[in-house]
């Protein structure tokens, strides 16, 4: 039961994360830009873990643009989860992986 619940939690996160990636990228890059980027990353359907996704974004867009894109994804994700952004309460500069871990934990809880 626990194991099933854990799997289900992972699936939920993966689906929500995927949707947030599409939503966040759409907002910044537009539909054509987002599709082109995800096609290029070969991530149209199967999104890898956030850490790997972060690396790929960084290669394509560089530090500054990646930060903007990741912020948009996190904002989209938080909206989907109907959270308030300050609930993330991340200290220090924005870090995509830390934010994702926090969301993942929060979804499990």
Partner 1 sequence: MTTRKSPGLKPLVQVDSQGGTAGSGADDLAETRIAAVLGLKQFTQRPVRTLLVKGLAGTGKTTIALEILKAAGKGKGAYISSRVPKELLEMQIPAMQKTLQNQEFYDIRLEDATTALDFVIQLTGPKKVKTIVFDSWDGLAKELDQKERLRAEKTMMALANNSGAQLVFVSEEPGATTIDYLVDGILELVRVEEQDRAVREFIIHKLRGTKIPQHKYLFTLLEGKFTFFGPYAIPDYTKVNKFVRRPDIDGSYSFGSGALDRLFGGIIPGSTMAIEYDENVPYSALRTIELPPIINFLSMGRSAILLPLPGANDERTNSILTKTLGESVVSDRLRILNVVRTSDLETTQMQKNVTPNEIHEMVTRETTTLREKSKDQSVLLVKSVSALENLFASDLDSLLEVTSQEIITLAQSHDAHILFLAKDSPIRSRILSMSSSYAKLFVRDGTVLMFGVKPHTGIYVLQHLEDPTSPSLTQMV
At its nearest, how many Å lie between partner 1 and the CB of residue 32? Answer: 4
Angstrom CA distances, 19 to 1, 3, 8, 54, 75, stand at 27, 24, 16, 16, 12
Taking the complex as a whole, how short is the minimal distance between the CB of residue 22 and partner 1, in angstroms? 13
Specify the residue for token string 């910044």: 28
As measured in angstroms, the least distance from the Cβ of 69 to partner 1 is 9
Q: What part of residues 4-33 is at the interface with partner 1 (CB under 8 A)?
A: 27-33
Binding residue for partner 1, selected from 10, 15, 39, 97, defined by CB under 8 A: 39
Distance CA 32, CA 26 (A): 8
Nearer to partner 1, 65 or 107 (CB): 65
- The answer to whether 13 and 96 are in contact (CB under 8 A) is no
Q: How far is the CB of 55 from partner 1 (least distance, A)?
A: 14
Measuring CA to CA, which residue among 31, 51, 58, 60 is closest to residue 96?
51
Residue 83 C-alpha from the chain's centroid: 15
Between 65 and 90, CB nearer to partner 1: 65
Within residues 70-109, the interface with partner 1 by CB under 8 A covers none
* Interacting residues toward partner 1 by CB under 8 A: 27-33, 35-37, 39-40, 59-62, 65
């Amino acid at each position: 039961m626990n194991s099933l619940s854990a799997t289900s939690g992972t699936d939920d996160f993966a689906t929500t994360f995927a949707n947030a990636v599409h939503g966040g990228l759409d907002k910044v890059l537009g539909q054509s830009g987002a599709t082109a980027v995800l096609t290029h990353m070969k991530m149209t359907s199967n999104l890898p873990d956030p850490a790997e996704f972060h690396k790929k974004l960084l290669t394509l867009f560089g530090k500054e643009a990646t930060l903007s894109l990741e912020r948009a994804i996190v904002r989209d994700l938080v909206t989907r989860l109907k959270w308030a952004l300050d609930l993330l309460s991340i200290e220090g500069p924005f870090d995509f992986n830390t934010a994702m871990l926090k969301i993942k934990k929060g979804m499990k809880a």
